[in-house]
Structure 1
Amino acid sequence: MNRVSILTALLLMGASAMAQKVPEKNIEKSVLTDKINNYLDKRPMTAEDLWKLGRVSTEGLSADGNTVIYGVSNYSFEENKSEKNLYTISVKGGVAQNFTTEPGGESVVEVTANNDVIYLYKGQLWTKNLKGGAATQLTNYEGGLSNVKLSPDKKHILFSQSVLITKNHSKDKYADLPKSNVYIYDNLDYRHWDTDNDGRFNHPFVATYDNGKIGEAIDLLEGQPFYSPTAPFGGAEDFAWSPDSKSVLYVCKKKAGTEYATSTNTDIYQYALGTKQTKNLTEGMMGYDTHPTFNKQGNRLAWLSMKTDGYEADKNDIILQDMATGQKVNLTGHWDETVNAFVWSNDGKKIYFVAPTRGTVQLFAIDVPANLQVRSLPNIQQLSEGQFDISGIVGETKDGLVVTSTKMTQAAEIYVYNLKSKKLNPITTVNDSKYVQFKETKVEGRFTKASDGEDLFSWVIYPPDFDPTKKYPTLLFCQGGPQSATTQGYSFRWNFQLMASQGYIIILPNRRGMPGWGTKWNEDISKDWGGQPIRDYLSAIDDLKKEPYIDHDRIGAIGASYGGYSVFMLAGMHEGRFKSFISHCGLFNMESWYGTTEELFFANYDLGGPYWDKANAKTYKDFNPIKHIDKWNTPILIFQGGKDYRVPIGQGQEAFQVAQLKGIKSRFVFLPEENHWVLSGHNAQVWQREFFGWLKETL
């Protein structure tokens, strides 16, 4: 809608309100004037604006596919917390309806054939029909329920609960010392992500279910120190029911201690209710096996699989198994990219999936072979194309595929992708009224020749009202992962629209190690952290500097995790290119990092192994930021989370101490309650203020 149309609509709204003789006659005029000014005099986005956006999550579809159920989380600055409620809307768009309004977040478990929405609220199951009426609490289960999956015949329930297995905490080990707070460990896996291992493990339970009444539950991992769902991020997607309701599937890495910390070998297990026997469906498949999903017909099972044990960023393939014969086939093994997520088509003849490609994440389809014994390569077709990401697939309807999509300048909304017209049609517009107030920030793609002659793609974001005759401060963004794609995703912290709105140009290179440019490009970063990927960053910024609008005296480098490592590396080798650095939870001393990080499989694969192994000397010498501090001479801001076990606190502390003792302008922002990310709204505001304050001081 153009500005004239918007102005006309607002004038009509105002005329309508005055015709209804709303009390306080000046209110309508004031509100109308403000709205008109907001639309005609757009302004740059602020950090506060970012946290006022609604965060959209897809929850499900009605039985007929005509209605979408979705969640919106809204943040309260006053309470420093988010509130999530559920909404319904026609798949064709239109006016959304509130479905839940109670304080506390709800999440949909399933929608039944008669459109009863069963959802989790405060650890219990509730139900409410899409047509309206009061919500009814179904369960009152002691300890609460998590990751619930009801059997198709509604006679059984699968869920998870935390179970005490090993007495790692002193209060459990010594009951007479209830005021103690001591952890005792005999092996690794003593902490993960941001949580100390207190000896409690999430286990899957299965029980009879009769309209809310749950029978005696069977612990499928009774007495075993294993996690299912998998820690730290596994959820209900790790569970599945067979369509005949006779068995359940669960994902688990059945390893403990040092084996747990050094392996990625998760497997998919099938538990038969009748025989109470468990079978490993992925025996001999040594990497991650996740997201088991049956087709609606019940004769085929698909899941995501990586080949290599210990390689967390290996190519993710879709494996198909015929349940009658047990025969397996890799549907995407011949394809030179990696799969993010997938869903079955309703007729079971296709699988739709999303995958990174050339700086975006797009929608693909693969034909499912009717006969798995025929070894012809399945046909893979890219369906969508454009300057956006397809971040997830909800399901298939007669109107097309219901998906979520983002841009660098737009948070997630829900769309229908029309398979015939190849277009995205919006269903939700939760944040449109906010975005329309902000000045636009242009996003363009750019190719550079890397130092080895390869084509290197970057996204470049420009400030509002960009004028190529002026000069602008510029930021090189270094991506984390290290094998994470820089696409058209939307971040509520590393938000490039927000950065550009403060007057900066930002360049985001798709350097070596990013998926979407072939598996070799993705793999080339392993054991070469400080080599070609860092040269890619320098090639990208040196190429952009050729543009007359780049202020050579005001260039900075920023990044988190591996991106923070990249900043630390660049600080020792940039030869005057940069005037300021910002590193968030970056790896600084690779030896001490290896000795304190918790997912050792990652360190073993990407670095080559431990620092005492002479075969890894290059990693711990040439590619170790601490070995290049003799060349540090540039202002640097360092963020560090206190509960970050992936990149523990000592990394930020060591880097800051070096900068201070060398007399370099530096600042240490310590977030004691945050992990590798920043999740608290107030803490995030501090983060943004320190981030942009530092840039103003140093650029």
Structure 2
Amino acid sequence: MRFGYSLIFAILLFSVVLPQEKKLLTAEEIWKMKRIGAFSVNPEKTEALFSVTTWNAAKNESTGDLYLLNLKTGEYRKFTSGKGSESSPVWSPDGKKIAFVAKRESDEAGQIYIIERDGGEATRLTEMPMGAQSIKWFPSGDKLAFASNTLPEARGNLDTLKTLLKAKKESKVSAKVTEDRFYRYWDSWLTDGFVTHIYSVEIASGKVSDLTPESTAMLSVSGSGADYDISPTGEKIVFSANVTPKPYFTDLNFDLFLMEADGSGKVTNITPDNRAGDGAPQFSPCGKFIFYLKTTNPNLEAENQKIARFKIEANSDTLLTKDIDLSVNEFTLDHKVGKIYFTADYRGRTGVFSVSPNGSGFQKVFAEGTNSGLAPDSSVVYFLNNNNSTPQRVVAVDPTTGTSRELVDLNKDLTSQIEFGKFEEHWFEGAKGDSVQVFMIYPPNFDKTQKYPMIHLIHGGPLGAFSDNFHYRWNSQVFAAMGYVVAMVNFHGSSGFGEKFAESIVGAHGDMPYTDIMKATDYLTDEFDFIRENRIGAAGGSYGGYLVNYIAGKTGRFSALVSHAGVYNFYGQFASDMTHFRERAYGGAPWYNKEQVNKYSPANFAENFITPMLVVHGEKDYRVVVTQGLELYGVLKGKGVPARLVYFPDENHWVMQPQNSIFWYKEVGDWFNRFLK
């Protein structure tokens, strides 16, 4: 008996001492992670709300809750727990109430709910037939503004709108009819006559007023939501709207409009002379200025977005960041210290920067990982941050020192059990002798005595980058965990390396990016002897899929390729939802400069296809239409090249549903394993 107790004790001791073996990251593990979204700080800068989406992958279902964070102590708790999805929290001016958008059990569309900061049950404020979006408080705190879709023939009457919607739903005619050049966006048709209006709703009574009753303008390319701000007095609203008339033969052009907030419909275009884009307006605290994002040259594909300051009384604007070679993603004002904080792509990261309201005093605040949702408060800036091995979290940074501290990481328990591969940054000589960046991820538990196959992951855009971020759809650590060295090249045309670098591929879509991929392959195989030179693959989506297709027609160096939503035939892309910019990007169109278009169209090199290819496409993809993938697959099979088609009837440009995503990772992994191992 004594022997039995001793044995049990020894087993228990061994189990305690023995370190737990870490897991490898898989697609299944990714869908267990909690995803932090919208981040909103209260007026006193003492608390914040953030949304959290949790997935039940087995059921393809998600729930969204709001969490409350004490910014001083770092303590947080779940604040709402309604069934369904809750997002977009905004604090009342006195910090005592919170408005948010939720789609609860009886809601057909997302509605505005109000809840007291001190707790209690949330109450529904709106019953808009097409839901509510883009909510903001008026400074008085007695009403909210929001955006919602309507039909012009309803003439502002919500009961009439309900009747019209019911008739549309019950109609047996399913045809979509248009004479417009721009008639679809992403995965939706824009032919049903809906327009977006800006409304107000009184907190006490729930009375809804249409503030843009006669408007038929397009307020966003997606056909829903609005980009606007309310003046400090609550008397005026500035919003962005397209001014290009139907049928949209030329590029869409968004200008800024200033209107009375009383519903009179009095509107003035304050940027009529700018033929490029104006958006993301924000009033200054004094109400005398409007800060916004601006581009100035409609003939550029990759122009930097700049922060502009519009002086209302003088009807004039000033570009504040024109001499800073960064393209601004988002910005916010810190009136306490007189600074504008903004984010921009920067050398494979999304950094945080600042300037004064007159454009001077440019400063790099924080440039690690990928950052968004800025909320400054004098001596600290709060925001969301993620990196290659850390999903989205809440951090605080001292803007004078750049020192950061973590406030919330909901996934730390999960990620602490995962063995991540080492993430490195390298630079090599690419096309035209330019320095080009490549990130390299080692397989977890790397053994330098072993040889490993390599996969290039090629980013989309092309105006974009593979950054130091935690990517749910194209996660480099998942591929590294499959036993591959992963390379991510930020080739010519990528963002974050200056406007000239980003603009350099216009009219020559595949030229320098292809050269950069090939030179990166040479550099990595020469520099690192653990890479198997004869076992290299490449995978890309969107533009990355295009470049994979272009590679297939130019070289047989790769052992396997994966083209996800990739452009195969440039002519066919004039069925895309966005066609205006393609003439510039391709250097022509089917009706002029056809030779230039064909020069970089993969279909023009089909006779050279020899590399096994997995082709992936979604039926609801209106950006790169599904016929691109089907045509590519048909050519490969007709030519006798090993090929496999993965077709998703219910996905768009991206694979978004959990079970489809898990299946996608398996198909891509199996394809590479088949030819690279």
2: CA distance between counterparts of 1:159 and 1:428? 30
Tell me which residue corresponds to 2:620: 643
Tell me which residue corresponds to 1:265: 253
1:353 touches 1:393 (CA, 8 Å); kept in 2?
A: no
Matched, 1:243 2:224: no
Aligned CA distance change for structure 1 residues 559 and 211 (closer, same or farther; 3 Å): same
Matched, 1:586 2:566: yes
Question: Aligned to 1:661, what secondary structure does the other structure show?
Answer: helix
What does residue range 515-594 of structure 1 map to in structure 2 within 5 Å?
515-546=495-526, 547-574=528-555, 576-594=556-574
Matched, 1:62 2:42: yes
Matched, 1:619 2:597: yes
Tell me which residue corresponds to 2:139: 152
Letter in 1 for 2:218: Y
Tell me which residue corresponds to 1:657: 634
Cα shift readout 1:117-161 (whole Å, capped 9, x = no counterpart)? 122223333222333333333344555422222321135543222
Cα shift readout 1:450-491 (whole Å, capped 9, x = no counterpart)? 142111111111111112221101011211101112221221
Q: TM-score, normalised by structure 2?
A: 0.91
Tell me which residue corresponds to 1:400: 380
581-590 or 309-318, which deviates more: 309-318
1: CA distance between counterparts of 2:588 and 2:379? 51
Alpha-carbon shift at residue 270 of structure 1 (Å): 1.2
Aligned CA distance change for structure 1 residues 326 and 649 (closer, same or farther; 3 Å): same
What does residue range 281-300 of structure 1 map to in structure 2 within 5 Å?
281-300=270-289
Aligned CA distance change for structure 1 residues 441 and 183 (closer, same or farther; 3 Å): same
Match of 1:110 among 87, 90, 98: 90
1: CA distance between counterparts of 2:655 and 2:429? 35
Aligned CA distance change for structure 1 residues 187 and 198 (closer, same or farther; 3 Å): closer
Question: Aligned to 1:303, what secondary structure does the other structure show?
Answer: strand
Tell me which residue corresponds to 2:159: none
1:641 touches 1:675 (CA, 8 Å); kept in 2?
A: yes
Matched, 1:450 2:427: no
2: CA distance between counterparts of 1:78 and 1:36? 35
1:287 touches 1:311 (CA, 8 Å); kept in 2?
A: no
Match of 2:199 among 203, 206, 209: 206
What does residue range 450-489 of structure 1 map to in structure 2 within 5 Å?
450-489=430-469
What does residue range 314-333 of structure 1 map to in structure 2 within 5 Å?
314-333=303-322
Aligned CA distance change for structure 1 residues 567 and 489 (closer, same or farther; 3 Å): same
2:302 touches 2:499 (CA, 8 Å); kept in 1?
A: no
Matched, 1:164 2:151: yes
Aligned CA distance change for structure 1 residues 221 and 382 (closer, same or farther; 3 Å): farther
Tell me which residue corresponds to 2:327: 338
Alpha-carbon shift at residue 680 of structure 1 (Å): 1.0
Question: Aligned to 1:126, what secondary structure does the other structure show?
Answer: strand
Aligned CA distance change for structure 1 residues 298 and 218 (closer, same or farther; 3 Å): closer
1: CA distance between counterparts of 2:279 and 2:661? 32
Matched, 1:183 2:176: yes
Aligned CA distance change for structure 1 residues 172 and 136 (closer, same or farther; 3 Å): closer
Cα shift readout 1:76-105 (whole Å, capped 9, x = no counterpart)? 023211111011122145442110001111
Letter in 2 for 1:232: S
Alpha-carbon shift at residue 654 of structure 1 (Å): 0.7
Letter in 2 for 1:266: F
Cα shift readout 1:158-217 (whole Å, capped 9, x = no counterpart)? 3222223599xxx99998993221122233223221112232334123346242422442
Match of 1:609 among 578, 583, 588: 588
Match of 1:385 among 346, 367, 376: 367
Matched, 1:357 2:336: no
Gap runs ≥5 in structure 2: 1-7, 104-109, 155-163
Q: Matched residue pairs, number?
A: 649
Match of 1:227 among 204, 212, 218: 218
2: CA distance between counterparts of 1:555 and 1:378? 48
Identity value in percent: 26
Runs of 4+ in 1 over 6 A off after TM superposition: 32-37, 171-177
Tell me which residue corresponds to 2:664: 687
Question: Aligned to 2:121, what secondary structure does the other structure show?
Answer: strand
1:263 touches 1:601 (CA, 8 Å); kept in 2?
A: yes
Alpha-carbon shift at residue 273 of structure 1 (Å): 3.3
Aligned CA distance change for structure 1 residues 692 and 36 (closer, same or farther; 3 Å): farther
Question: Aligned to 1:125, what secondary structure does the other structure show?
Answer: strand
Cα shift readout 1:230-271 (whole Å, capped 9, x = no counterpart)? 0228645x0211111111122111335441x64131111111
Tell me which residue corresponds to 2:645: 668
Letter in 2 for 1:665: P
Tell me which residue corresponds to 2:4: none
1: CA distance between counterparts of 2:47 and 2:333? 19
Aligned CA distance change for structure 1 residues 71 and 172 (closer, same or farther; 3 Å): closer
2:138 touches 2:144 (CA, 8 Å); kept in 1?
A: yes
Match of 1:600 among 575, 579, 598: 579
Question: Aligned to 2:256, what secondary structure does the other structure show?
Answer: strand
